Structure 1
Amino acid sequence: MKKSRSVMKVRSGDVEFLRVNAVVWRWQDIYQWMLSLSWPLFALFLLGCYLGVNIFFAALYVAVSGGIAALDAHSYVDAFFFSVETLATVGYGHMYPVSLAAHIIATAEIVVGMFGMAVTTGLIFVRFSRPTANLLFSQHMVVSNHDGKPTLMLRVANQRNQPVVEAAFRIMLIRTTTTEEGEIIARFHELKLQVQGVIVFPAAMTIRHVIDETSPLYGMTAEDFQRDSVHFMASVVCIDVVVPTEVQSQTSYTWRDVKFGERFVEIYTETPDGNGWVVDYGQLHDTEPAP
């Protein structure tokens, strides 16, 4: 574990943090690193490990000349495929160890194969079984009057065919301010929402923060948002009913993503029989001028 002057990029929503003089690697993080890889990179990583192990042991089999029966001492290809068979504990019987050194190498490879299979199976199981929240956030936030009061609003929709339950909503405001000493710092404010959570979240809803005298946004205009580099982080934590466990999804907005004087178009219409609602996900991001 050591520190490096190289730049490390960490992305949080649309904001990118460049870390310098930070710890670049810890062996304790290798499990988390493998789980965070995309599926194509994960498959390439496993393939690389598999080929690397077989290439290493094939070189050892070639080094112990005459240790493997029916193995051409100069054929690295034969040694490689013998390594593949040994690693998988297949053992076709055509080639087999005949010397003590070859037996020791084959034993070591079998142990590596058993542990490798167990680790690989565990990683694949965790990646398949790990629940994720399939939530869709609106591309913009809007500020307009709602019930006669200026209100900050965003939309979020559940894209799964099953509802999620115990959904909790949070919005964090980040803005730069100047202290009395003249220091420019970032201040964090958790915004009070009209609805902090719902018991069942089947489709889509609008999350609202009323900009009253108690709000840190009170009296701010679009120019103030730009001046203070206003940034929002929105989060939804809920429980997946299929795999009963807590899942979380988040997004971020900058001052450029806030539309003043706009409101979201209505996406709910009642069904003809009056027993349900039609939700138009195609208009989830659409806005219109507020009256």
Structure 2
Amino acid sequence: MARKTKDPGIGYSTRENAQSIMNDDGSSNVSHMNRKRNINDLYTFFVDISWFHFFLLIILSYTLFNVFFGLLYVAIGIEEITKTRGTFFADFLNGFFFSAQTLTTVGYGGIAPKGIMANLIAAFEAMIGLLSFSFITGLLYGRFSKPKASLKFSKNLIIRDFKENKALMFRLMNSRETVMIEPEITVTLSISEKDKNGEFKRNFYTLSLERNKIMYLPTIWTVVHEIDDKSPLFKYSKEEIKNLDAHLYLLINYHEESFSQKVYQIYNYHFSDLMMDVKYVPSSSFDDEGYTVLDHNKLSEVEKMDV
């Protein structure tokens, strides 16, 4: 009989067609309400967002700063920094480009502040520029130096004949060229079912695996859970397993050579990704000189089982 495990932090309560509490890549899928924010959240926000959004925010902030100060120079009189060109737009462009030179501390010398007010604004803007670029430099270092796993998982789960029973399988690999040292995995099965009162409730099981830890991994690891009489899936038929409202929550940790420390990654499978009576095709082969060649495109490729 399969032993239930305690709630791993997801919660027992659920409802019909409830969305997963985490995304496939392990990121949170929880909407927060009334959460208090503080200045320390800025660092986490800028480190965790995508590179595209990171540089987009920098460009937008840089542009808005220069627009604001460009308008400020026009407001105090563009003559404070250079001769007027007769139109608002032309004067604004002079103010905008002078602001860009001041903010970045480039200072080409073609335009320079002459009055007290212009000098005060330029001095204040230069200070903001120094602080801003120091902040951005720190964020860039934080983003590059943040230890992060880079695992790829097969897009599908499979159930196939295995020994005298059947087995649930998926594959994973390192998307980097480094070798994963002592990778270890924990797989938790979550099944949402109706109780006697007609209410939906999650049941959790820690799945026993053929191997949950190996010495090192240079290629691909096929993780196998044998569906024997001790498995929580043993009581279900293949069709019932396919229709289960169930998730696999994976926690993998290993020593990453790139950062010289242990890294973690979470992943989530839904049983809608399940395929029956297929097997994974080999993803590694040998070249003419005998070296192992690993094809990343074959991680999720399957073929029908021989009857």
Same fold (TM over 0.5): yes
Check if 1:13 corresponds to 2:24.
Answer: yes
The secondary structure found in structure 2 opposite 1:40 is: helix
Matching residue within 278, 282, 296 for 1:262: 278
Match of residue 82 from structure 1: 98
After superposing the two structures, state which structure 1 stretch, 66-75 or 78-87, moved more: 66-75
Check if 1:288 corresponds to 2:299.
Answer: no
Cα distance in 2 between the residues matched to 1:229 and 1:130: 35
Matching residue within 21, 41, 50 for 2:62: 50
Sequence identity (%): 26
The secondary structure found in structure 2 opposite 1:198 is: coil
After superposing the two structures, state which structure 1 stretch, 197-206 or 18-27, moved more: 18-27
Instruction: Give me the TM-score of the superposition, normalised by structure 1.
Output: 0.82
1:103: how far off? 2.2
Deviations 1:68-94 (A, max 9, x none): 243428511111111111112223334
Gaps of 5+ in 1: 1-8
1:51: how far off? 0.8
Aligned residues: 282
Cα distance in 1 between the residues matched to 2:205 and 2:83: 70
- Greater RCO (CA < 8 Å, at least 6 residues apart): 2
Matching residue within 207, 213, 235 for 2:229: 213
Deviations 1:210-230 (A, max 9, x none): 223332222222332354312
Match of residue 190 from structure 1: 206
Summarize the alignment of residues 69-218 of structure 1 with structure 2, pairs less than 5 Å apart.
69-72=81-84, 75-218=91-234
Is the CA contact (8 Å cut-off) linking 1:10 and 1:19 kept in structure 2? no
Instruction: Give me the TM-score of the superposition, normalised by structure 2.
Output: 0.78
Deviations 1:147-189 (A, max 9, x none): 3232211111223222121211122212112234332122232
Alpha carbons of structure 1 residues 267 and 10: separation in structure 2 relative to 1, 3 Å: closer
Deviations 1:81-110 (A, max 9, x none): 111111122233343333332222111101
Cα distance in 2 between the residues matched to 1:223 and 1:24: 46
Cα distance in 2 between the residues matched to 1:120 and 1:160: 27
Deviations 1:103-134 (A, max 9, x none): 22111101100001101112222223334433
Deviations 1:125-146 (A, max 9, x none): 2223334433222222222232
Cα distance in 2 between the residues matched to 1:14 and 1:238: 17
Alpha carbons of structure 1 residues 67 and 207: separation in structure 2 relative to 1, 3 Å: same
Q: Which has the higher strand share?
A: 1
Is the CA contact (8 Å cut-off) linking 1:68 and 1:95 kept in structure 2? no
Match of residue 63 from structure 1: 75
Cα distance in 2 between the residues matched to 1:183 and 1:149: 33
Is the CA contact (8 Å cut-off) linking 1:68 and 1:102 kept in structure 2? yes
Match of residue 4 from structure 1: none
Is the CA contact (8 Å cut-off) linking 1:265 and 1:288 kept in structure 2? no
Cα distance in 1 between the residues matched to 2:77 and 2:294: 72
Alpha carbons of structure 1 residues 176 and 72: separation in structure 2 relative to 1, 3 Å: same
Cα distance in 2 between the residues matched to 1:50 and 1:210: 56
